[in-house]
Each structure stands twice: as structure tokens, then as C-alpha cells.
Amino acid sequence: MKYLHTAALALTLSAAAAALAARGAQTQASTPATGPLQAQADALVGNKGEWTILAWSMDRNEPLFAINADSARVPASNNKVYSTVWAMGTLGPDYRFPTDLLIAGPVQNGTLRGNVVIRGSGDPAFGYPDWDKDVMASPRKMAAALQRIGVRVVEGGVVADPSIHDQQNFGPQWPLDTGNGASRYAPTVSGLPFNRNMLWIEIRGGTAFQRIPDVPEIPVINNVRAGGGRAFAVRKPDEDTIRLRGGVGGRGPYRFGVGAYEPAYLAGGAIRQALREAGIEVRGAVTVGKTPENAVVVHRHFSIPLHEIVHVTNRHSDNFFAEHLWKAAVAKSTGHGTYAGGGSASAAFFHDRAGVPWGQLWQADGSGLSAQNRTSANAMVRTLMYAHKAPWSAQFHESLAIAGDPEGTMKNMFNNTPAAGNLHAKTGFIRSVRSLSGFVKTAGGETVAFSFIYNGRNTSGSRGVQLALGNLLATYRR
């Protein structure tokens, strides 16, 4: 399979972003720096050129303070606000991703004269261990459906179809430590995900290993030795071969997880494994391709509701879920979940629905890992206000981490301050970026949407400024 090279994709995205910026240059500043808390905010914020900041009273429909509110900055994981809002706005909070098992050929005397097909729609929760305690539970239900129609032998193999998405399975300009989707915190993205797109290698009672799921189409080179030491599993960024290195002592078990370069093999391998466990002989290999036109659906699996996925995405800043929600929104809007087409489709959605000015928002990916993402505080606040007024407002609010709450990314923020238990927001950080955007109730009872985004070297100091600004809002009384 051919993949669009990341550098080429970066050029495409940069050109599109520049075009949007040119259109945005004609937009007048929409958030003048005047408000009842402006002087106090100015005193708290140091190098103002490194910030974009806006706090907006939704009750009075006016700013409480603003600093460079129309200037676009890198948002880090605040980008997930756009991804989850776009998915809720286009797919709906109760949407469930379908994953289909199909047969491509006739069944004659118990033999399928063709292939089994597993076709995805980008469900990030398919085979996800937090919901399927046994990740093979859903593949086994699919195998049972094939048994019910009398299949005992599959003459062909298993075709894994991720084609609802493009073939770029990792975001543009992701940090080097993601290994193009090899890492656990940012595994690969696919139209046919399975078990977070992680291949697990398990060693028990020696140095022999097994793959989970059983998918020999992903090569594993085992150089693990007995006799202590630290074993680990790695792959190079641009290939699927996994290498086991180091040493193991005792009987184990030892488990190592690596994000698969072509993750569709995992779902295909899981289906073949489930079929064989059910006593169905599968004679062919797992391949990645498109569903034939004559294929017939045998079983359809539905995911958990989208609002549950959104909750995990925002509350715990889950990169894997965010990428899949974003690509699902791209696919719904354009017909194909592509990185190259997502930025302009996202900008158009938020311009039309939330009034975000052209040039103030660019999504290069869904999670915020890419350094090519851009947003202004004004764009973010407009989006938060759109979400606040949407029919799914309560579900969106509940997805945000709560200040000082142990469940979520703000468990160590705002503890024992006026904002604790009140302010709820999306956090964000990558190198040289700290961001915080969400909602807070003032002491006077006003609901405020805010966005504080910093790009610069003093990231530890910037987080302190964000805490101070949040408490400034929480204690404000008109």
C-alpha cells in the first residue's frame, strides 16, 4: 500500500492554511481589549505577544478581558474541543459507528467460495479493552453469525477494509516520540481500528512469544534472551516489523504493546482467529483492501454512543479517540476521512455554525499533536458558545475535566482555590505550548466561556498565569 509522505502532506496543509489566513487578514478584530477585568488580566500576563486570550460573559454577551484574541496560536490538546464539537454537530451524540462482517462469494455445502470481509467506519472503541473486557468478544460474535449461516470452511481469506479513511495512518508533523503511531499515547489511525490499534506481544515461560491478536502478517523478529535484563518491543517509524530485544527472567508473563503501522491487519487477524476458534477453517491470509460490490452483510456491530467516546476524549485527553472522531467528521463532511481534506472542511463547519472568522482556525489533525494546528482564543470561545447552546450541550459540558477533580486532566489544577469544582475545561500541552479553554461560573453567577493559549518557552510560568486568570473569573462579581 502506498502512503502519502508526511512532508508532502505538510506542504499541502501549509498552503491551505496560508490561503485561509489570507482571507482572514481582511477580518476586523472582533474582540477589543476592553472589559471590567482587563487591567487585572493585563497585570497577570507577561510577554503578551506569546498569548491569545479571551474571557466572554455569555450572560451579557461581552468580553471581560481580551489579549491578542484574534491571533492564531498552536492549541495543543485544546484542538480536541474542535474535534469533539464537530463530531457531535455532524454525527450526533447518539451516533454509533458500524463495523460490518460480510461474505464475498456463495456458500456451497458449508464452504464459502470467496473471502470474508471486515469493513470499518472508524470506530475507535471496536475491541477497546475498557468496554470489551475480552477484546475478542465482538470478533467472536461475528464468527458465530457466520456459523449460523452454515459456513464451516472459508476458501479464501479475510479482507480488512479501512477505506473510509485515507491511507495516512498518522498525523502530519507529529512529535518524533510517537514513532509514526508506534507509541501507546498516540497509536496509528485507521478506518478499521481494533484494540487501540496496538499489537500485543506476550512471552510466557521462556523466550517464545505470541501475538495478540494472532496476526502473523505483521512480522515479529524475536531477539529476546533468557537470563534477566529488560525486554522491550519496538518498530521503525515507516514499517510494520516489530523487534523484540533485551532479556527476560522468570516465567512471566511479559507483555509489550506497539502501535501497528497498518492497523487494519489487527482487525482482520482478530476475525480470522475468532473463526478458527469457532471451528471454521480459513485457508487464506489477511489482506487489506476494499469491499467487493457483491459482498453481503452477515453481521453488523455497533459501537458505544458517540457521546461516551467524546467524554473519554476530552476528560482524559485521549489522542487515539480524538483522531478517529475528527476523521469521522471529515468523512461525513467530504465523503472520505483524509488529513489533507480535513482542515478546510473543519474551518468551513466552524465558520458556518459558530461564526469563526476565516484564518483563525486550522486543524491539521484531530488530537492537537501536530504543530501545524492553529486557533485564536476568539475562535475557541465562539466554538464553546456554539456547543453551550447546542441540543447536546449537557453532554459536552460533562466531557470536560473539572478543576481539582481526580477524574480527568485537571486533578492537580486549581486545588483549594475558588475555581475548584466549578471551572471545567480542556487542557493542552505539547512542547512550547500550554492551553486551557472552557467554562466557569463567576461569583456573581455569570457563565463565562474562556480560552487561554500560550506559545513560548516559559510553559511552567504560563500554567501559573492560567490558574490566576481562572481564579480571577471565578471570584468576579459585577
26 pLDDT above the threshold of 60:
no
Instruction: Tell me the Cα Rg of the chain.
Output: 24
> By percentage, how much of the chain surpasses pLDDT 90?
86
Q: What integer pLDDT is reported at residue 31 of this predicted model?
A: 58
68 pLDDT above the threshold of 50:
yes
Task: State in Å, rounded, how far the first CA of the chain is from the last one.
Answer: 61
Encode pLDDT of 147-182 as tens digits. 999 999 999 999 999 999 999 999 999 999 999 999
C-alpha cell at 434: 500550554
> By percentage, how much of the chain surpasses pLDDT 70?
93
Q: Which of 87, 147, 104 is nearest to 303 (CA)?
A: 87
Q: What is the mean pLDDT of the chain?
A: 92
Q: What integer pLDDT is reported at residue 252 of this predicted model?
A: 78
C-alpha cell at 164: 473510509
22 pLDDT above the threshold of 60:
no
Residue 381's φ and ψ, nearest 5 degrees, are -65, -40
Of 91-105, 128-142, 263-277, which gets the smallest average pLDDT?
Answer: 128-142
Could you tell me which residues are beta bridge partners of residue 116? 103, 158
60 pLDDT above the threshold of 80:
yes
Q: Which of 206, 200, 232 is nearest to 218 (CA)?
A: 200
Q: What integer pLDDT is reported at residue 33 of this predicted model?
A: 62
Mean pLDDT of 415-434: 97
Exposure letters 302-314 (e unless 16+ CB within 10 A, then b):
ebbbbbbbbbbbb
C-alpha cell at 407: 477524574
Q: What integer pLDDT is reported at residue 385 of this predicted model?
A: 98
Encode pLDDT of 181-220 as tens digits. 999 999 999 999 999 999 999 998 788 899 999 999 999 9
Query: Can you list the domains of the chain with their CATH numbers?
Result: 6-93+306-474 (3.40.710.10), 98-302 (3.50.80.20)
Mean pLDDT of 37-45: 97
85 pLDDT above the threshold of 90:
yes
Q: Which residue did the predictor score with more confidence, 3 or 328?
A: 328
Of 16-30, 120-134, 226-240, which gets the smallest average pLDDT?
Answer: 16-30
Q: What is the pTM of this model?
A: 0.92
Q: What integer pLDDT is reported at residue 219 of this predicted model?
A: 95
In whole angstroms, what is the distance from residue 451 CA to residue 434 CA? 11
SS3 sequence of the chain: CCCCCHHHHHHHHHHHHHHHHHHHCCCCCCCCCCCCCHHHHHHHCCCHHHEEEEEEECCCCEEEEEECCCCCECCHHHHHHHHHHHHHHHHCCCCCCEEEEEEECCEECCEECCEEEEECCCCCCCCCCCCCCCCCHHHHHHHHHHHHCCCCEECCCEEEECCCECCCCCCCCCCHHHCCCCCCCCCCCCCCCCHHHEEEEEECCCCCEEEECCCCCCCEEECCEECCCCCEEEECCCCCCEEEECEECCCCCEEEEEECCCCHHHHHHHHHHHHHHCCCEECCCEEECCCCCCCEEEEEEECCCHHHHHHHHHHCCCHHHHHHHHHHHHHHHHCCECHHHHHHHHHHHHHHHHCCCCCCEECCCCCCCCCCCEECHHHHHHHHHHHHHCCCHHHHHHHCEECCCCCCCCCCCCCCCCCCCCCEEEEEEECCEEEEEEEEECCCCCEEEEEEEEECCCHHHHHHHHHHHHHHHHCCCC
What region does 413 belong to: left with phi over 0, alpha with psi -120 to 50, or beta?
beta
Query: Position of cell 475557541?
Result: 380
Q: What integer pLDDT is reported at residue 204 of this predicted model?
A: 85
6 pLDDT above the threshold of 50:
no
Q: Which residue did the predictor score with more confidence, 128 or 350?
A: 350
For residue 14, what pLDDT band results from cuts at 50, 70 and 90?
A: very low
For residue 2, what pLDDT band results from cuts at 50, 70 and 90?
A: very low
Of 29-33, 82-86, 172-176, which gets the smallest average pLDDT?
Answer: 29-33
Q: What integer pLDDT is reported at residue 351 of this predicted model?
A: 98
Q: Which of 243, 255, 247 is nearest to 200 (CA)?
A: 255
What region does 219 belong to: left with phi over 0, alpha with psi -120 to 50, or beta?
beta
